[in-house]
Amino acid sequence: MECEFPSVNSNKEEIKEIFDSVKTIAVIGLSPNETKDSHKVAKYLQSQGFKIVPIYPKEDEILGEKVYRSLLEIPFNVDMVDIFRKPAVLSDVCDACIERGDVKVFWSQKGIVNNAAAQKAKDAGMKVVQNMCSMVEHRAL
């Protein structure tokens, strides 16, 4: 599959606004394996004061937080989703964000682009960041 160039994306100013306003981040695909990027990024964001909510098909706890199997299971507000999954599942993630109604930011990590899902998220009122690492962008601020 050919990687799409991210045509739907936030700029640096909007990314700063995102980090200034977000408190709770659901990390979709947060691995318990400390060598994986999803774990390193989530651990960094947690160390910066963000509440991390792991979404993973296994485990009961990652980084000291209760693990949920899906975004729809989380019983409290989520400000942002940070996605470490293949581009093909972003449409389903977007649908879950829309169904929840509280997600303000739809963020897909480095190498993950799905313009159709990103446009749908944007049309639903979410800020969209694609193909960028949340840890790298936060550190750059």
pLDDT tens digits for 82-103? 999 999 999 999 999 999 999 9
In this predicted structure, what is the pLDDT of residue 1?
A: 41
In this predicted structure, what is the pLDDT of residue 3?
A: 53
User: If you average pLDDT over every residue of the chain, what do you get?
Assistant: 94
Tell me 34's DSSP state.
Answer: T
pLDDT tens digits for 103-128? 999 999 999 999 999 999 999 999 99
**Cross-strand partners of 108:** 83
In this predicted structure, what is the pLDDT of residue 127?
A: 96
pLDDT tens digits for 15-69? 999 999 999 999 999 999 999 999 999 999 999 999 999 999 999 999 999 999 9
Q: List, in order of start, the domains of the chain with CATH numbers.
A: 12-140 (3.40.50.720)
The answer to whether 65 touches 74, Cβ cutoff 8 Å, is: no
The average pLDDT across 72-85 equals: 98
The answer to whether 45 touches 51, Cβ cutoff 8 Å, is: no
| Position 7 confidence tier, pLDDT thresholds 50, 70, 90 | confident
Give the CA dihedral 95, 101, 107, 111, nearest 10 degrees: 0
